[in-house]
Amino acid sequence: MDRYARQTNYRNLGEEGQKKLLSSRVAVVGAGALGCVSSNELVRAGIGFVRIIDGDQIDLTNLHRQILYTEEDAKAQANKAQAAAKHLRAANSSVTVEDIGEHLVPENADRLLSDVDLVIDATDSMEARYLINEYCVEHKKPWIYGGAVGSEGMTAAFLPGGSCFSCFTSVTKKENDVPDRSCRTFGVLNSLTAIIASLQVTEAVKLLTGADTVRKGVLFVEIWDNEVKLLPLEKDPDCPVCGKREYQYLKFRDE
């Protein structure tokens, strides 16, 4: 436990909490800005198994915010999940870091998400988020949403039996019907992605150690104009996903 001494000395965690983290399994979907920070913090915190899922390659425009990668990675157009895992194994060899160089899709969702305790959303795809939401509702698995664009970010923990992402957004359409509001078009501050990912990891640690202080609601931050809000998150009894179990993304197969 010496490695985690500064963490186990924290009164709300301790050695028992650290043991729970070491026996936990987490999937991080996406190895971009949010995924780099969250997987880095999870591995260094001693989460026993971290699976990093991303089919993209690294390019130079990623480096201002995707902190696990180097210019050499960009020059080689390395796969994000593989490069992230390589750097993280060098940071903590006592835990297991698995790299999956694929995008999360309905066909591989069960293979990649069924054996973990918790899922962290670090994607920039609404389609992937709705897929994660449907899978986790169906399989009673907690997941933590995070989104960041420009200087605005949001994060929320979605727990089994509670409200789901579709309750919050009131949208269940496929991605081509959802407006594009991405970092590619709006830009993003690298400090914002670090903040949102760190908030996601904090909630993950709470969930994995059984803390009773998991945040309720959606935390919204605007870091340029110094705005912080906690938005209500209520379960919609008519939600097609958690209410009626109607899954558009989970059952979608390139029709």
Ordered structural domains, the chain, with CATH: 2-231 (3.40.50.720)
How confident is the model over 59-85, as a mean pLDDT? 97
Count the helix, strand and coil residues of the chain and give each as a percent rounded to the nearest 5.
Answer: 40, 20, 45
pLDDT at 208 over 90: yes
Element (H, E) at 196: helix 190-209
Question: Pairing between strand 218-222 and 227-231?
Answer: antiparallel
Q: What residue type is 47 in one-letter code? A: I
For the entire predicted model, the pTM comes to: 0.94
Q: What is the pLDDT of residues 141-194, one digit of tens each?
A: 999 999 999 999 999 999 999 999 999 988 655 544 445 556 666 789 999 999
Tell me the longest C-alpha to C-alpha distance in the chain: 53
Q: Compute the distance between CA of residue 169 and CA of residue 154 in angstroms, rounded to an integer.
A: 12
pLDDT in tens, 222-239: 999 999 999 999 999 999
